[in-house]
Amino acid sequence: MAETRFALNDGSVAVVIGSGAGGATLANELCQRGKKVVCLEAGPRLSVADYRNDEFFAFQQLTWLDRRIATGNWSVANTAPTMPAYTVKAVGGTTNHWGALAFRMQRHELEARDRYGTLPGVALANWPVKWAELRRYWLRAESRMGVTGTHGIPWLPVTNNYKVVDFGAREVGYRRVANDRHAINSQSRNGRPACMQLGFCGQGCKSSAKWCTLYTEVPQAEETGRFDLRPRCTALRIEHDATGRVNAVLYVDADGNQHLQKAALVAIAANAIETPRLLLHSASSKYPKGLANGSDWVGRSYLKHINASAWGLFEKPVHMNHGVTMGGTIYDEARFDVSRGFVGGYLLQACQVGVPFLAAVIKPDGWGRDFTQYLEQYDHLAGIWMNGEDLPQRDNRVSLHGTDKDANGVPIPVVHVDEHANDIAMRKHFYERAEMVLRAAGARSVMRGTPVSASHNMGTCRMSVRPEDGVTNSFGRSHEIDNLFISDGSVFPTSSAQNPTLTIVALAIRQAEHIVRTFR
């Protein structure tokens, strides 16, 4: 099929920025419904043949390595001061890397303001979209992504790592322990094969069993003849007309040439750090604080989930690396229960990483026998990852650096996080519980892993009922500019304890319907 190309002066196209979970899903939905879409993607278009089962190589190949700055009291500001977040720069976005856990949120997690009470320094909010409505879209997202355990799709086989975690969890009294819902084919589906249990989900799935927009949403959209994907094209600014409606996007291509693409509407899905960065950088005399930022919420209330890990060393081999990265979850601690000394909850997830990442995760500056025995006896390890709800705080935010700019002259983003006492209490609880589980399963020692750069980014353009409380309405449509949309995790008012991507996809489907319904 010939490549689709729309003219730069074609003002009837929707411009979508970013081709990851949110952007490519929205673009595909719009194309399927007869709309013309130009998608600007900063990264290259790779193919599954380009993926390599090698952690370091894949990290260099896929990761967004442009400088960002981490500040605040979170440990990442010390351990990874120029990499607060781990995201991808390539067609398919971070779905190239993701572990494909596809979880729905719990009812109480969408009503945090009502359920959690008042907490000092916290800007809790209820979601402006109800659980029952989201459920309809989760179901559709699950069907489209082929999520195991839903729609009659069989589960993946359990991993060795999960068997150990499951045993320890039941020994200490946990009851809500289960194989995960994965957006990974357990049987061939939609032209893609079943998972081969290679264990390199984080390096790009060479068999394409894992849902990644590079080879799902993108080619589907292209087949409509209405999708103009422009890889290696980085959006620099969003322009608006005299009335204040957005009408064009300025971008730079791989050769360094700048272009202005006209647009009927603009949807940003650049992940929750680049999205507010672009809005803030698009400030004008009409919008001096940045686009959609009359409420001063753009960039604020950055959420990233509380992460940590624990690694048990066993007498006998476990071979945790056999099978998918994330193998199963203990859900008991995701309950609503303030008696533990914190609000919100967390998941304990059976998780494996390769030797290079393990070294960075367990102790970034590790040295000595205590540390090296974990690397030497890698095949005797089992791991548990923490995914915990962090709290929205106004001053945890993405802002533009005052002087430091990237090669295109755009200020680099500063990601500031001061952890709340609630976050710290929750992580302490996790370490104790994870160690109990691993020891109950027979671990002779346990190493606590350091928190690492955020892989889940949310909250920097939150949706709200009232314009003064956020950036968009429940459809991700800017309160201030009616043809400007946010289509990624930035719109989450709270993080919940659940991995975010299923909800990003569900919201993108819902947003596409809204756009088609309300735009002529």
Ligand X SMILES: Cc1cc2nc3c(=O)[nH]c(=O)nc-3n(C[C@H](O)[C@H](O)[C@H](O)COP(=O)(O)OP(=O)(O)OC[C@H]3O[C@@H](n4cnc5c(N)ncnc54)[C@H](O)[C@@H]3O)c2cc1C
Give Rg (Cα) of the chain: 22
Q: Segment 447-476, which members bind ligand X (CB under 6 A)? A: 455-456
Q: What does 499 bind: ligand X, ligand SF4, none (CB cut-off 5 to 8 Å by kind)?
A: ligand X
Beta strand spans in 152-305 (E): 177-179, 227-230, 234-240, 246-252, 258-262, 265-268
Regarding 184 and contact with ligand X (CB under 6 A), the answer is no
Tell me how far, at minimum, the Cβ of 64 lies from ligand X, in Å: 6
Tell me how far, at minimum, the Cβ of 283 lies from ligand X, in Å: 16
Q: Which of 35, 36, 68, 97 lies at the binding interface for ligand X (CB under 6 A)?
A: 97
Q: Which of 14, 58, 83, 201 lies at the binding interface for ligand SF4 (CB under 6 A)?
A: 201
Q: What does 87 bind: ligand X, ligand SF4, none (CB cut-off 5 to 8 Å by kind)?
A: ligand X
Residue 481 contacts residue 244 (beta carbons within 8 Å): yes
Tell me how far, at minimum, the Cβ of 148 lies from ligand X, in Å: 13
Q: Segment 337-356, which members bind ligand X (CB under 6 A)? A: none
Question: Using CA atoms, how far apart are residues 421 and 67, in angstroms rounded to an integer?
Answer: 29
Burial (0-12, 13-18, 19+ Cβ within 10 Å), 338: exposed
Q: What does 292 bind: ligand X, ligand SF4, none (CB cut-off 5 to 8 Å by kind)?
A: none
CB proximity list for 2: less than 8 A, separation 6 or greater: none
Question: Using CA atoms, how far apart are residues 49 and 286, in angstroms rounded to an integer?
Answer: 47
- Minimum CB distance to ligand X smaller for 98 or for 314: 98
Q: Concatenated DSSP letters for 36-91?
A: -EEEE-SS----GGG--S-HHHHHHHHB--S--EEESSSTHHHH-TT-SB--B-ST
Question: Using CA atoms, how far apart are residues 358 and 353, in angstroms rounded to an integer?
Answer: 6
Cα separation values, 344 from 5, 127, 322, 327, Å: 47, 15, 32, 23
- Minimum CB distance to ligand X smaller for 205 or for 443: 205
Question: Using CA atoms, how far apart are residues 333 and 429, in angstroms rounded to an integer?
Answer: 10
- Minimum CB distance to ligand X smaller for 380 or for 456: 456
Q: What does 101 bind: ligand SF4, ligand X, none (CB cut-off 5 to 8 Å by kind)?
A: ligand X
Residue 158 contacts residue 166 (beta carbons within 8 Å): yes
Which listed range, 21-29, 141-149, 303-311, 338-346, lies at the site for ligand X (CB under 6 A)?
21-29
Contacts with ligand SF4, 167-196, as mask; x by CB under 6 A = -----------------x----------xx
Q: At which residue do the structure tokens 């380009």 appear?
A: 50
Q: Segment 383-422, which members bind ligand X (CB under 6 A)? A: none
Tell me how far, at minimum, the Cβ of 6 lies from ligand X, in Å: 17
Question: Backbone phi, then psi, for 207, in 5-degree steps?
Answer: -95, -5
Burial (0-12, 13-18, 19+ Cβ within 10 Å), 369: exposed
Regarding 94 and contact with ligand X (CB under 6 A), the answer is yes
Q: What does 197 bind: ligand X, ligand SF4, none (CB cut-off 5 to 8 Å by kind)?
A: ligand SF4
Question: Using CA atoms, how far apart are residues 343 and 119, in angstroms rounded to an integer?
Answer: 9
Regarding 209 and contact with ligand SF4 (CB under 6 A), the answer is yes
Regarding 290 and contact with ligand X (CB under 6 A), the answer is no
Q: What does 76 bind: ligand SF4, ligand X, none (CB cut-off 5 to 8 Å by kind)?
A: none
- Minimum CB distance to ligand SF4 smaller for 22 or for 323: 323
Q: What does 447 bind: ligand SF4, ligand X, none (CB cut-off 5 to 8 Å by kind)?
A: none
Which listed range, 216-224, 263-271, 292-300, 335-343, lies at the site for ligand X (CB under 6 A)?
263-271
Q: Which of 41, 55, 142, 222 lies at the binding interface for ligand X (CB under 6 A)?
A: 41
Residue 450 contacts residue 75 (beta carbons within 8 Å): yes
Q: At which residue do the structure tokens 């928190």 appear?
A: 451
Regarding 234 and contact with ligand X (CB under 6 A), the answer is yes
Which listed range, 124-132, 158-166, 200-208, 297-305, lies at the site for ligand SF4 (CB under 6 A)?
200-208
Q: What does 4 bind: ligand X, ligand SF4, none (CB cut-off 5 to 8 Å by kind)?
A: none
Q: Which of 199, 328, 388, 489 lies at the binding interface for ligand SF4 (CB under 6 A)?
A: 199
Regarding 77 and contact with ligand SF4 (CB under 6 A), the answer is no
Tell me how far, at minimum, the Cβ of 428 lies from ligand X, in Å: 24
- Minimum CB distance to ligand X smaller for 95 or for 450: 95
Element (H, E) at 386: strand 381-388
Residue count, binding to ligand SF4 (CB under 6 A): 13
Residue at 155: amino acid letter: W
Burial pattern 133-169, b for ≥16 Cβ within 10 A else e, equals: ebeebbeebbebbbbbbbeebeebebbbbbbbbbebb
- Minimum CB distance to ligand SF4 smaller for 30 or for 324: 324
Q: Which of 71, 75, 79, 207 lies at the binding interface for ligand SF4 (CB under 6 A)?
A: 207
In a 13 Å sphere around the CA of 214, the CA atoms on its Cβ side amount to 30
Q: What does 200 bind: ligand SF4, ligand X, none (CB cut-off 5 to 8 Å by kind)?
A: ligand SF4
Cα separation values, 503 from 136, 219, 341, 462, 508, Å: 11, 22, 28, 14, 8
Cα separation values, 293 from 10, 188, 268, 480, Å: 27, 45, 14, 8
Question: Using CA atoms, how far apart are residues 164 and 320, in angstroms rounded to an integer?
Answer: 9
Binding site for ligand X (CB under 6 A): 17-23, 40-43, 86-90, 93-95, 97-101, 202, 234-235, 269-271, 274, 278, 326, 455-456, 488-489, 499-501, 504
Binding site for ligand SF4 (CB under 6 A): 184, 195-201, 205, 207, 209-210, 324
